[in-house]
Structures are given as structure tokens and as C-alpha cells.
Amino acid sequence: MTLKIEHLVGGYGQVPVLKDVSFNVEPGELVGLIGLNGAGKSTTINHVIGLLRPYSGTISLDGLTVKANEAEYKHSIAYVPETPILYDELTLREHLELTMMAYSLDPEKTWPRAKDLLQTFRLDNKLDWFPAKFSKGMKQKVMICCAFLHDPKLLIVDEPFYGLDPLAVHELLRLINRAKCHHTAVLMSTHVLDTAERYCDRFVLLTAGRVKASGTLKELRQQAHNEHASLDDIYLKMARDGVDD
């Protein structure tokens, strides 16, 4: 499924945070959403997952929109938030059961997959723990396990690497890669640019609510007139230019 964002204007209050944002994420493609704090990355993601409604413009997933096809749209996406959000009242096992119910998954078929994920993130012996006992990294791992329990058409990962140990980062990237192989479109916002450079197929650089540049690393280098620049160099230059603007 292709995520298509067209002329998106949106935000939280009267003054829009996003001003005419447009880009696509194709199936099997990992797009890195990059920008300074306050550039509008999380706002974009909140619009994509349907927590915010656009002032104008459209967000569609192969023609499906939150407004017209809410259940179908939400069924097709999985989201790993920047700050893990868990239910205080539910144990890890119950979080997984709830996810299975929410996405109408057959528990018998899904539990082996859940157990694989739990083992991967070393959570398999913590099934009866409440979120209050988990560290920040562990909570993030729970969110990842829940997101990868089903086969979403679009995976949205917001700043996934904070709080995760190197092993977990490696496993997450492996899972994202596997999802890509299953034609999942992946949108990832991050500040960890060297990892983004290695793993993302394309990049969208946001500055002050606008798309400053987008494309593959090669295309970004051409735009920056520097054939050997790293993503870090390009990003810093564009960010400074954006601030100067």
C-alpha cells in the first residue's frame, strides 16, 4: 500500500504547524522523516495515524482515508511511538492479547509469533509484569512487539532508537527489513542520522513545517551540490539554512 500525503496543512491550534507537506511512501520502502525538534515530524505522524485531522490536504493509504474508511485504514497501520504508551492496568501478556483482539488476529496462530518476538527482545519471562515494573527501554520493546504482531501495510516508527540497547536496535532494524520484504511501507522519524543513512531508502527533510528536500541520498547530494556529503552534512547544512531563513 502506498502512503500518499498531499498538500497537508495541519497542527494543534489555530496556527498550523505543517504547511503544505507532500510526500509518498511506497510499498517495501523505508522513508526517513528527518528534521530538527519542532520541525513537524511528530505532527506529521500524528496526522498519518489519525490522531489529528488535517486543516486541508489529504492523507491516503491506497485511496483509504481516516475520514471515509476509519476501521480499514487503522487496520492497515502499526505504530511505534517515541514515548512508549502502555495501559497501567494490563500485564505484558494482556497487552498482546488486546492487540490480537483489536486487529482480529487468531490467538492460536499469533501466539507463536508473539513468543518469537518476546524471545528476540528478551521479554519472554516477563509476561505477567505490569508496565510500572518495566524500564523505558523495556516499554519500548513491548510497543515494538505489539506493532509487529500483525502484518501492517504501513508501519510508522517515531524515534525508535532512544532507550533501546544496541542489541534491540539491531533486532528492530532486522524486523523493519523483514517488513519491507513483505511489501510494508515504512515511515520512520529519527535523529540518528548515521543509522538512517544506512537503512533508509529515501529521506524527507522537514524544516519549520515544510518539506525542505526529499529523495534518495544521491538526490539529496545533488541538491546540496556535494557528491561526497554524508546525510549528517546535508541535514546540518539544510537545518542551518532553515534556521537562517
Partner 1 sequence: MTNLYKKRESAHFVMLIKYWRLVFNDHFVIALFFLLGALAYGYVGWLAKLHQGLWWAPLLLIIWSACLLQVGRLATLLQPADRVFLLPQSQAMTAYMKKAWRHSLLLAEMITIAGTIVALPFARVTMGWNNYQLAWAVIAMAIGKLDWLLLSWIHLNNNTHLAPGKRDWMNNRWLQSIVIAIGIFAKDAWAGAIVAVLFLLANWLEYRIAFSLDWNRAIDYEQHRMDSIYRFFNLFTDVPSVQGSIKRRRWARGIVNVLTVNGHSWSYLYAWGFVRNDDFAGLVSRLTIVAMLVVFFVSLSWLKWVLTLLFIYVIAGELTPFYKHFDANAMTHLFPASHSQRVHDFQHLTFVVLLLSGCLIGLASLGNRGDWQVMLIDIVLAVIEAVLISRILIPQRLKNVK
68 interacts with partner 1 by CB under 8 A = no
Q: Which amino acid is at 62?
A: D
Among 37, 132, 228, 244, binds partner 1 (CB under 8 A): 132
Instruction: Please report, as residue ranges, which positions from 163 to 182 form the binding site for partner 1 (by CB under 8 A).
Output: none
* Distance in Å, CB of 87 to partner 1, minimum: 6
| Closest to partner 1 by CB, 72 or 232 | 72
* Distance in Å, CB of 40 to partner 1, minimum: 18
* Distance in Å, CB of 148 to partner 1, minimum: 15
| Closest to partner 1 by CB, 29 or 158 | 158
Instruction: Please report, as residue ranges, which positions from 33 to 62 form the binding site for partner 1 (by CB under 8 A).
Output: 49-51
* Distance in Å, CB of 127 to partner 1, minimum: 13
Instruction: Please report, as residue ranges, which positions from 179 to 238 form the binding site for partner 1 (by CB under 8 A).
Output: none
Stretch binding partner 1 (CB under 8 A), from 10-18, 65-73, 117-125, 171-179: 65-73
| Closest to partner 1 by CB, 11 or 220 | 11
Distance CA(1)–CA(25), nearest Å, equals 9
Secondary structure of the chain in HEC code, one letter for each residue: CCEEEEEEEECCCCCCCEEEEEEEECCCCEEEEEECCCCCHHHHHHHHCCCCCCCEEEEEECCECCCCCHHHHHHCEEEECCCCCCCCCCCHHHHHHHHHHHCCCCHHHHHHHHHHHHHHCCCCCCCCCCHHHCCHHHHHHHHHHHHCCCCCCEEEEECCCCCCCHHHHHHHHHHHHHHHHCCCEEEEECCCHHHHHHHCCEEEEEECCEEEEEECHHHHHHHHCCCCCCHHHHHHHHHHHHHHC
**String of contacts with partner 1 for each residue 79-98, x by CB under 8 A:** x-x---xxxxxxx--x--xx
* Distance in Å, CB of 212 to partner 1, minimum: 27
Among 4, 19, 75, 93, binds partner 1 (CB under 8 A): 75
Question: Is 109 exposed, middle or buried, given 0-12, 13-18 or 19+ CB atoms closer than 10 A?
Answer: exposed
Residues in the site for partner 1, rule: CB under 8 A? 49-51, 70-75, 77, 79, 81, 85-91, 94, 97-98, 101-104, 130, 132
